[in-house]
Amino acid sequence: MRVMNIVSKAPEWVVVAYMPQVRSRYEAMSQSKAAEARAEILQRTIALVFRDVMLASHFGTEMTLPDGVVMNISPRLILYVSDQREERDVVCLKRHGSAYDCTSCMARTTSCGVRPSRSNSPKKRSVLKTVKLQLKGARMRGIRGNGVVINAIETANSIHCVVPALAGWAGLGSGPLLLYQIFGFDRLHVRCTFLSSFYYLLLLLACDCARRHLD
């Protein structure tokens, strides 16, 4: 896990935490158990690393500026740079293939690519409703016999019943509720934006040709 250091003259990425890997074993339900463990580790790591900053975002803290002036500030998280998989993991949403693949809205996966009209435009994903459902499922997880109910909650809302730690940051889980609006695309995995778009168009063309050939 890295954060941007803007205190020095040359901004640089600083590693603040390492997260252990959880591998799946060859036993019944091992993959689902490993996925749950990875989700818990990710959220606990975020909570431990940013605990003091999240508290300061609610109550404020003193910060000494380079010129010696002391000011009372309230830290805000305005950008989280990631790819789509990490974006979904951080806010505890199911990955691609669920009923709602969009993080910020409730557009169904089957409607992707269809231009919405004013009458059927998708609603924004409610931060409070989603986090409350995740909290409800997380509380039920430790009680035997609630597996069916938890799976129903997760499937109906495309979520994992793990509470996202970033929801405790002021402005994300409170106030303007920007928990699903802070993500930016990670260009570290893309060599060239133009070439990436070109290869994507070629892939779409190949898929369309294959579909027509099969038809």
- Model confidence at 68, pLDDT cuts 50, 70, 90, reads confident
pLDDT of residue 203: 47
* 161/151 Cα distance (integer angstroms): 9
Range name among 2-16, 75-89, 156-170 with the lowest pLDDT average:
2-16
Q: What is the pLDDT of residues 186-210, one digit of tens each?
A: 555 554 444 444 444 544 455 555 4
What SS3 state is found at 184?
Answer: strand
Q: What is the pLDDT of residues 35-56, one digit of tens each?
A: 788 888 899 999 998 999 999 9
Q: What is the pLDDT of residues 94-142, one digit of tens each?
A: 887 788 888 888 888 777 666 666 666 788 899 999 999 999 999 998 7
Q: Which of 113, 97, 103 is nearest to 183 (CA)?
A: 103
pLDDT of residue 102: 86
* 129/198 Cα distance (integer angstroms): 39
* Domain spans in the chain, listed from the N-terminal domain onward: 2-98+162-214
- Would the pTM count as exceeding 0.85? no
- Side chain identity at 169, as an amino acid letter? W
* 113/123 Cα distance (integer angstroms): 16
Residue 98 and residue 158 in contact, taking contact as beta carbons nearer than 8 Å: yes
